[in-house]
């Protein structure tokens, strides 16, 4: 499992304790926050941009996420999950909140009719890094319906009802595919909380 996100600046020490860095940020250590920015801003921005799409809004939401990390660093509990999961969860929730707000509503109507399922776009935009390749390979091991349910929800920011509508399947089916697909992805990636 990759503990420690990359992107933004080249890293001399790939691993290192991201959780410890967040602990220092929680105590107001601005140098630690700068280091955290360098380690994680690429992962945050990349995900936000993938979901939000609009460049200006992506930059805004990225800033919101990083400031939320600064503001709530003391609430990170390493016993409940990894620092990476905590950060990515914050980023994803904010990105999804933005796309579901009124501002982005018009864009989403256009995107919803696009022919390509989101998975194809993932294949284009993902960096050729070992971890990204592993994710892509594990996504390949899902059934098509599982993969589309998961990627439409995660990268597209759609609710499970919207995914059911987009795929033309029953809501119960989508719920099951999302869960089964994530379970399979989790096991393929060897992921622990």
Task: Tell me the per-residue interface mask from 82 to 121 with another protein, x by CB under 8 A, - otherwise.
Answer: x-xx-xxx-xxx--xx--xxx-------------------
154 binds another protein, rule: CB under 8 A: yes
Q: Scan for tokens 């220092």, then name that residue.
A: 24
155 binds another protein, rule: CB under 8 A: yes
| Of 132, 145, 165, 169, the one binding another protein by CB under 8 A | 132
> Do the Cβ atoms of 40 and 5 come closer than 8 Å?
yes
Which region among 11-19, 108-116, 133-141 touches another protein (by CB under 8 A)?
133-141
CA distance 27 to 177: 42
41 binds another protein, rule: CB under 8 A: yes
Q: In residues, how long is the chain?
A: 193
Which region among 14-22, 109-117, 174-182 touches another protein (by CB under 8 A)?
174-182
Q: Scan for tokens 């919803």, then name that residue.
A: 112
Which region among 12-20, 47-55, 108-116 touches another protein (by CB under 8 A)?
47-55
Nearer to another protein, 45 or 110 (CB): 45
CA distance 125 to 107: 20
CA distance 118 to 71: 32
Which region among 12-20, 35-43, 108-116 touches another protein (by CB under 8 A)?
35-43
- Least distance in angstroms from the C-beta of 182 to another protein: 5
Q: How far is CA 37 from the centre of its chain?
A: 16
63 binds another protein, rule: CB under 8 A: yes
Question: Residues 32-35: contacts with CB within 8 Å, 24+ apart?
Answer: 33/70
Q: Per CB under 8 A, which of residues 1..20 are in contact with another protein?
A: 1-2, 5-8
Q: List CB contacts of 137: < 8 A, sequence separation 6 or more.
A: 188
């Amino acid at each position: 499992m990759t503990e420690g996100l990359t992107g933004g600046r080249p890293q001399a020490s790939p691993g290192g304790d991201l959780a410890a860095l967040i602990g220092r940020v929680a105590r107001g250590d601005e140098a630690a926050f700068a280091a955290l920015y360098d380690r994680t801003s690429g992962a945050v921005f990349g995900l936000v941009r993938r979901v939000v799409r609009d460049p200006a809004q992506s930059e805004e939401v990225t800033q919101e996420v990083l400031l939320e990390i600064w503001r709530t660093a003391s609430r990170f509990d390493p016993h409940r999950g990894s620092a990476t999961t905590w950060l990515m969860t914050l980023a994803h929730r904010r990105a999804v909140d933005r796309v579901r707000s009124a501002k982005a509503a018009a864009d989403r109507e256009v995107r919803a009719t696009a022919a390509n399922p989101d998975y194809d776009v993932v294949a284009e935009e993902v960096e050729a890094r070992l971890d990204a390749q592993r994710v892509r390979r594990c996504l390949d091991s899902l059934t098509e319906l599982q993969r589309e349910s998961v990627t439409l929800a995660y990268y597209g920011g759609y609710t499970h009802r919207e995914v059911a509508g987009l795929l033309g399947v029953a809501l119960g089916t989508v719920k099951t595919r999302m869960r089964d697909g994530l379970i399979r992805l989790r096991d393929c990636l060897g992921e622990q909380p």
